[in-house]
Structure 1
Amino acid sequence: MKQLTRYQPSAAPVSNLRREMDRIFNELIPFSWRLDEPETGMSMWTPITDMMETDNEYLLEVELPGLTKKDIQINCQDNVLSVEGERKHDKKEERPGYLRSERSYGAFKRSIILPTSILEDKVKATFKDGILKITVPKAEKSKRKTVPIE
């Protein structure tokens, strides 16, 4: 008897491979070592970050819903911009109707190596509505220059 197989688009083999690799690693890694399990009380997450470049600066937008300015630290050294912080999980009693929690909690650190020299002392950041916006000015020597053809 033949088995029916559901049609899957061309990206499915990659998704299947990833799912299978996740399954294998979950079976190989001892349960207590996994950090992204609700039973351990810990999780790992990386905030989503957009990065743009203009002639004069780099612009970064980092999604940090549920955090405050006090929860975030920004460091800049040797052309590496680091954003770190922690989203704390409020341990609440089981509520009726509460089925699942998919939000990630715990500490995070996101470091980005910038491709050109920057003015570390001129970096500015604003935080509003869960979006951290960081402006990183480029150093004068690293700005793009147009060379005229003679």
Structure 2
Amino acid sequence: MSLVKFRRRPFGNLATQDFFDMDNFFDNRWASNMLPENFWNGKSAEPALNIKENDDNFEIELAAPGFGKKDFEVTIEDGCLNIKAEKETSEEEKDDNYTRREFSYNAFERSLQLPDSIKDEDIKAKYDGGILSFKLAKKEEAKKLPPKKVQIA
């Protein structure tokens, strides 16, 4: 038997994490060390995400300005919250001496592994002011109970 020096596990401690961001898993672990700092010109193709845990629920906020409610597709599949958005616009203007044509295409996808403590049937979503927000209710057994006082005999 030989001893091997302990090293940090490459996957971290996934068992104790509530949410697991599958989209950033490989980026954060390996690709960030292999790609040059300015590879993407400092811009991210993914919207910023905030996750907050309360006693009764989780709140998720995703910054996605410029989209409309109809541009989003949100699904829950195999314990994952999948958020997909796509928007395409085009504009053309013709005048006597010139033609102006502009178009844009924006899209992203994010997937979050949901904890087992979430009620899949009780997830609410709202899009307002460029922020897509979710409230994910916790199962009763997962809610934090107030401490109980133990009497000493």
**Do the two structures share a fold, i.e. TM-score over 0.5?**
yes
Partner of 2:65: 65
Q: CA RMSD in A?
A: 3.4
Distance change >3 Å, CA 105–CA 45, structure 1 → 2:
farther
TM-score (norm 1): 0.57
- Could you say which structure has the higher strand fraction? 2
Amino acid corresponding to residue 50 of structure 2 in structure 1: D
5+ residue gaps in structure 2?
1-31, 93-99
Distance change >3 Å, CA 138–CA 21, structure 1 → 2:
same
Partners of 2:88 and 2:144 lie apart in 1 by 42
Any residues of structure 2 matched to 1:87-102 within 5 Å, and which? 87-88=87-88, 90=90, 93=100
Distance change >3 Å, CA 77–CA 139, structure 1 → 2:
farther
- Name the SS of the counterpart of 1:115 in structure 2: coil
Q: Across the two proteins, how many residue pairs are aligned to each other?
A: 109
Amino acid corresponding to residue 123 of structure 1 in structure 2: I
Amino acid corresponding to residue 118 of structure 1 in structure 2: I
Partners of 1:78 and 1:144 lie apart in 2 by 25
Deviation of 1:94 after TM superposition, in Å, equals 7.0
TM-score (norm 2): 0.56
Per-residue deviation, residues 57-109 of structure 1 (Å, max 9, x unmatched): 010111111100111011224442221111335477478xxxxxxxx954311
Q: Structure 1 segments of 4 or more deviating over 4 A?
A: 91-95
- Could you say which structure has the higher helix fraction? 1
Question: What is the aligned counterpart of 1:22 among 27, 36, 43?
Answer: 36
